Amino acid sequence: MPTGALIRLYRIDRRKSTVSLATHAGITVRYLEMIEAGTKTPSIPVLRTLAKALGVRTSALLGEAPSEDHEGTVNPRLAKIERALFTYGTVPLETGAGEPDDLAARIRVASDAWYTSQTAYTDVLTVLPGLIVEIEELVRESGRSPESCRLAYSLYHLARGVVKHAGRIDLCGIIADRTMRYAEEAEDLLTLAAASWTLGQTILSDDMPHGALDVAMLGAEKLEPSLPDGTPEHHSIYGGLILCAAIAATRIGDPWRARELLRDKAMPAAQRVGEGQNYHNIFFGPTNVSIHAVSVSLEAGDMSDVVRLADDVDISKVASMERRCTHLYHVAKAYECKGNDTAVFVHLRMAEQLRPQDFRYKQDVRGMVAALIKRAKPSYASEVREFAGRIGLLDG
């Protein structure tokens, strides 16, 4: 269900009028009516305010309910992941673990596909359930050796991002918990710090920014003593934790602290790491810090600053297709809030060229396209409809 329809549904269920909800959310009644009609998609700050006024999590307004993920042409793969997560030694769903070297190689292939392939969802969702079952078997058969736990950590570290972007935020908690537990048993400082980043990102996705800020800053503080003589890997994981903390700080209403974290902690670490680095699937470098500066301005509701900062970001320096596309979606959202539909369309098409399957899974992005169909001027309306048909919005 589109975001606007979900907002209307929750509003009616809570017996709130448009005037009441708009007043509590700090927006005009006309803007709320346009959101509910699907001609406008709310900015991230407005969406969170609406969710708070309605007494629901922000993810509930994005159509990411678990019950919706067992239907349709793509969702059975997610159901298989869910089933694989409930594999235990006393109630095994399958038996037999792969060889450690073979599993490690397959996890690396899946990770590379997720960040670089145009068919990332198909590539990774197909193999992820089997990898989860096999890694759990390996951990049991090895007696929970540090090596097997480190391998399990790396798989779940990857799985959290895959599942989140595929729309199953409800599964991220159990995945993040396993990431942390296996990282603790791996007995390695950097592995544990990277797992803290995964936990912080999960808490952030679940609308708990205070908790995410605490987890990220604690993880960063534990790494700080090793930074003076640290490797690029140390600085990369440290920087990733600071970026997570910056977004969390913005969401609790402190964008100035977020900008200080980016300027005083993240950017110096990024300069030590350099461009194009990826340690523990945490892509970090100067360009990624600049991308997060754009995200902070978007979270703070400063759309003009988003556009200004985005002009200086060269996303080709970031190896992760997911990160490139997320940046393009953020810029598109800023242009939508500024009423520049042509720029919205340009940025969405750029993202589709990089990662077309996003438009089948990401409900917020599909919502932008659906709203654009209703607003597009005659000069390019046919192109927008063709685009919408290509991503399955006009099916049936």
DSSP sequence for 49-113 = HHHHHHTS-GGGGGT--GGGGGSTTTTHHHHHHHHHHT-BTTB-SS--PPPHHHHHHHHHHHHHH
Higher pLDDT, 191 or 82: 191
Instruction: From the options 1.10.3720.10, 3.90.1580.10, 1.10.10.10, 1.10.260.40, give the CATH code of 1-63.
Output: 1.10.260.40
DSSP sequence for 194-209 = HHHHHHHHHHHHTT-H
User: Would you say residue 66 has pLDDT above 60?
Assistant: no
What confidence category does residue 72 fall into, taking pLDDT thresholds of 50, 70 and 90?
very low
Cα–Cα distance, 166 to 97 (Å, whole number): 26
For position 196, what pLDDT does the model report?
96
User: Would you say residue 59 has pLDDT above 80?
Assistant: no
Mean pLDDT value across the chain:
88
Provide the 8-state DSSP code for 1: -
Domain regions of the chain by residue span: 1-63, 66-187, 189-319
What confidence category does residue 73 fall into, taking pLDDT thresholds of 50, 70 and 90?
very low
User: Would you say residue 295 has pLDDT above 90?
Assistant: yes
Tokens of 257: 């602290």
Cα–Cα distance, 288 to 277 (Å, whole number): 10
pLDDT tens for residues 333-386? 999 888 899 999 999 999 999 999 999 888 888 888 988 998 888 988 999 999
Provide the 8-state DSSP code for 170: G
User: Would you say residue 70 has pLDDT above 90?
Assistant: no
- Fold type of domain 189-319: 1.25.40
Cα–Cα distance, 69 to 168 (Å, whole number): 8
pLDDT tens for residues 317-348? 998 999 999 999 999 999 988 889 999 999 99
Which whole-number Å values give the CA distances from 312 to 93, 178, 240, 259, 306, in the listed order?
Answer: 51, 38, 21, 17, 11
Percent of the chain, pLDDT > 90?
A: 57
